[in-house]
């Protein structure tokens, strides 16, 4: 077998050292410094290295033991039945591989010639808390222990007795001689928030997440503190003592996991209500997909689904490895945090001149998508991270569209690695960069910087602004590079002859673009205002401000002379008023507005004919509940057009579903908003029903 390279050898030592430190901090010091998802990925990397190069396997490798040492401030006890952890699958393909392995093992150990069908599988949400082993003697709770290292745990009976969802006495007429119940203690999300608020008021460090708070609570020496935090518990398995062999356990008359859960519930234990008995991995996949979206609505944290073979006889045949049962596996939700290796640092220059550092790294899967770039925001963030070349970084995409680097794993930093800083000069035009004394943003102030100009042009022609169809980023890049367009004014000076000479631009495309440029002059005032690119003026508040000040001249007068008139508008604060004042005070911007006027762009609301009796404009304003949310792709209109139709009729469009939502408009490929709307009982309309509503055809709605 090929020997490992020095690079692989060094990496395996680094990973072993770091993961051992993480185990020690988590299990012994009660002070975890690494997220589970990051630990899992680094642990998997080490396993893969050791599998590929067995000579790298060391006695101190964390892959050779079940977990870290238990804390010393509680009495150590030995588990009658090892409290094993579960192997993890990180995608559906790995789950299929698990199924294949299991079937092969069952067939090897079966007298039957035909292939064994796993048939029934029990799926349980993987609760993000702390595993407990509860021992009952003749129905009374006599001992409660933590997982510890899986062989030896910690006796925390006094603390566990404060958890009201754990029965002190089994609700059975004839309880077994000895019973051990396994399950997960957890801290509900609302309780977690309250605890952190109290800790913040008292000046204490905050818990990172409910799991850490639960583990810290269970290790409190004072049971009264544990009681005050109101932990909860879900039971998920049990073991009975075999009287013929005190060192062994058995499952008495029960034949499967599903019946065992039912028995536990009858004995007084709380079972997760979302557990399901399924018949195929396809159903498992659907179950995972459902809860990946809905878990945000749960009152507790969950990070995946545990899949167990239901039949106890099959479980006995499969047995366990040193670390985990072969008959169960945890399928993790797509990671929201993961480690990766930094490749290089690049720099983006935005339309306002702000220079943003961007980390480019080895591709990773986050929240179901592949990610290879993440913003570092500004120089302050770069300083805080203390980023060096070739660092191992942790990237997060927790509920956000744009990923971000949250930390650096400094223990894996290469020696003599150079620290990374923002450049002193613009990477696009080489102008010296300026950083304000009160702001973290570092800016290029060169108005002719190609990056700034291209950003301003892309914003101006965008659908939400002047909506110039056919002028995409590639064409703008050509026009700027060839110095044909050096200002927004130049867009309106283009002609077909100039455009036809450009790459990928024929006569027909040129004609259509010129027509779209001309049509853009008649865009409504609120779109023109948004297109100006004034700091803090987005699509929503541009509409609000345009209603209150129906022309650029009236808005200018208020911004310079009576800013209180602007802040009197609901939802518009002093920051926006100050931004408008600064923009209108700029002489170059005044010249720009004059240029737009000369081009035939109104910069004001154009009065239209009076509304007829049949015009339904504004009718939603009289309705009780007029809040809309859009999800999915509409077939005959765009989302922006639907938004305009709703707002024209007096309705409001929100980005997320809540109890205040009146209607959810659903198109193709609707996301998690649809599930949430169903749960809240919100009226759901398809595209046709939506149009009928606005046309007053659907009288029952």
**Token pair belonging to 450:** 């190609």
**Alpha-carbon distances, residue 173 vs 168, 176, 267, 522, 577 (angstroms):** 15, 10, 10, 82, 73
Q: What is the rounded radius of gyration, in angstroms, for the C-alpha atoms of the chain?
A: 32
Strands 121-127 and 130-137: unpaired
On the 0-12 / 13-18 / 19+ scale of CB atoms within 10 A, 45 is middle
Please tell me the distance from the alpha carbon of residue 417 to that of residue 410, in angstroms, as a whole number: 11
Taking the mean position of all CA atoms in its chain, how far away is CA 420?
27
Q: Are 89 and 331 in contact (CB under 8 A)?
A: yes
The answer to whether the Cα torsion of 312, 318, 324, 329 is positive or negative is: negative
How many whole angstroms separate alpha carbon 597 and alpha carbon 257?
A: 75
Q: Where are the alpha helices (DSSP H) in 354-397?
A: 379-385
Buried b (16+ CB within 10 A) or exposed e, 430-450: ebebeeeeeeebbbbebeebb
Q: Are 223 and 156 in contact (CB under 8 A)?
A: no
The residues near 153 (Cβ < 8 Å, ≥ 6 apart) are 70, 76, 77, 79, 83, 133, 145, 146, 147
Q: Which residue in the block uniquely carries the two structure tokens 């029990």?
A: 122
Nearest one of 271, 159, 266, 287 to 214, comparing CA atoms: 159
Kindly state the DSSP code that residue 324 receives in the 8-state scheme.
Answer: S
**Among 380, 354, 534, 357, residue whose Cα is nearest residue 433:** 354
> What tokens appear for 261 in the block?
């859960």
Buried b (16+ CB within 10 A) or exposed e, 618-642: eebeeeeebbbbbbbebeeeebeeb
**H or E element at residue 687:** helix 687-694
The answer to whether the beta carbons of residues 212 and 33 sit under 8 Å apart is: no
Do 157 and 168 form a contact (C-beta atoms < 8 A)?
no
Identify the active-site residue in 126, 443, 673, 691: 126
- Is 126 a known active-site residue? yes
Give the length of the chain.
Answer: 701
Task: Give the helix ranges, DSSP H, for 533-670.
Answer: 539-548, 552-561, 563-567, 574-585, 587-599, 639-648
- Which helix (H) or strand (E) segment holds residue 262: the answer is helix 257-266
Burial environment of residue 351 by CB neighbours within 10 A (0 to 12, 13 to 18, 19 or more): middle
In 228-272 the beta strands, taken as DSSP E runs, fall at 232-242, 245-250
End-to-end CA distance of the chain: 72
Contact 238, 260 (CB under 8 A): yes
Classify the C-alpha dihedral 396-203-232-658 as positive or negative: negative
Please state, in angstroms and as integers, the Cα–Cα distance from residue 603 to each residue in 229, 465, 549, following that order: 59, 13, 11
Q: For residues 83 and 153, is the Cβ–Cβ distance under 8 A?
A: yes
Q: Which parts of 113-202 fold into alpha helices (H)? A: 157-160, 189-201
Distance CA 452, CA 444 (A): 8
Q: List active site positions.
A: 126
């Amino acid at each position: 077998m090929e020997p490992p390279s020095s690079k692989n050898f060094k990496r395996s030592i680094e990973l072993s050292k770091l993961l051992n430190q993480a185990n020690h901090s988590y299990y012994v010091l009660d002070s975890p410094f690494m997220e589970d998802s990051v630990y899992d990925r680094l642990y998997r990397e080490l396993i893969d290295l050791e599998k590929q190069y067995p000579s790298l396997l060391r006695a101190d490798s964390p892959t050779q033991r079940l977990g870290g040492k238990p804390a010393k401030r509680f009495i150590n006890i030995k588990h009658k039945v090892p409290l094993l952890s579960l192997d993890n699958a990180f995608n559906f393909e790995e789950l299929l591989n698990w199924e294949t392995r299991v079937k092969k093992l069952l067939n090897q150990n079966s007298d039957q010639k035909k292939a064994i069908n796993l048939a029934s599988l029990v799926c349980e949400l993987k609760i993000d808390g702390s595993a407990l082993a509860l021992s009952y003697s003749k129905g009374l709770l006599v001992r409660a222990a933590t997982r510890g290292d899986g062989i030896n745990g910690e006796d925390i009976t006094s603390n566990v007795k404060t958890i009201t969802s754990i029965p002190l006495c089994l609700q059975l007429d004839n309880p077994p001689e000895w019973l051990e119940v396994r399950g997960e203690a957890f801290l509900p999300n609302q309780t977690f928030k309250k605890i952190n608020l109290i800790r913040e008021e008292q000046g204490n460090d905050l818990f990172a997440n409910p799991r850490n708070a639960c583990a810290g609570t269970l290790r409190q020496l004072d049971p009264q503190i544990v009681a005050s935090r109101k932990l909860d518990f879900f039971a998920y398995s049990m073991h009975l003592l075999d009287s013929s062999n005190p060192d062994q356990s058995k499952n008495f008359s029960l034949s499967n996991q599903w019946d065992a859960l039912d028995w536990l519930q009858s004995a007084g234990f709380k079972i997760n209500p979302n557990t399901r008995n399924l018949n195929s991995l396809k159903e498992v996949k659907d179950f995972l997909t459902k809860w990946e979206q809905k878990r945000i609505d749960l009152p507790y944290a969950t990070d995946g689904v545990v899949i167990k073979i239901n039949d106890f006889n099959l479980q006995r045949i499969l047995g366990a490895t040193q670390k985990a049962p072969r008959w169960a596996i945890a399928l993790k939700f797509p990671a929201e945090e993961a480690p990766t290796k930094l490749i290089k640092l690049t720099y983006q220059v935005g339309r306002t001149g702000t220079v943003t550092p961007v980390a480019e790294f080895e591709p990773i899967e986050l929240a179901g998508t592949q990610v290879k770039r993440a913003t570092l925001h500004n120089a302050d963030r770069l300083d805080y991270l203390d980023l060096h070349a070739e660092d191992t970084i942790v990237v997060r995409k927790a509920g956000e569209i744009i990923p971000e680097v949250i930390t650096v794993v400094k223990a894996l930093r290469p020696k003599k690695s150079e620290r990374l800083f923002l450049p002193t000069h613009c990477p696009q035009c080489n102008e010296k960069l300026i950083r304000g004394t009160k702001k973290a943003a570092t800016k290029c102030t060169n108005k002719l910087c190609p990056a700034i100009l291209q950003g301003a042009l892309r914003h101006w022609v965008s659908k939400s602004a002047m909506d110039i169809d056919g002028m995409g980023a590639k064409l703008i890049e050509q026009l700027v590079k060839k110095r044909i367009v050096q200002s927004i004014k130049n867009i309106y000076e283009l002609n077909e002859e100039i455009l036809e000479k450009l790459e990928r631009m024929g006569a027909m495309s040129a004609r259509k673009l010129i027509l779209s440029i001309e049509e853009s002059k008649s865009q409504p005032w609120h779109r023109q205002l948004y297109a100006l690119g004034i700091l803090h003026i987005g699509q929503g508040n541009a509409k609000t401000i345009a209603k209150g000040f129906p022309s650029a001249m009236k808005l200018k007068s208020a911004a310079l002379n009576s800013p209180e008139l602007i802040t009197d508008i609901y939802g518009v604060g002093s920051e926006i008023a100050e931004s408008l004042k600064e923009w209108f005070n700029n002489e170059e911007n005044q010249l720009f507005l004059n240029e737009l006027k000369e081009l035939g762009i109104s910069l004001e609301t154009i009065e239209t004919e009076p509304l007829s009796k049949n015009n339904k404009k504004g009718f939603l304003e009289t309705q009780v509940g007029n809040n809309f949310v859009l999800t999915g792709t509409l077939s005959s209109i765009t989302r922006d057009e639907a938004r305009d139709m709703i707002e024209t009729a007096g309705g409001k469009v929100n980005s997320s579903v809540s109890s205040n939502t009146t209607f959810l408009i659903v198109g193709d490929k609707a996301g998690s908003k649809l599930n949430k709307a169903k749960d809240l009982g919100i009226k759901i309309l398809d595209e046709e029903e939506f149009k009928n509503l606005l046309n007053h055809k659907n009288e029952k709605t």
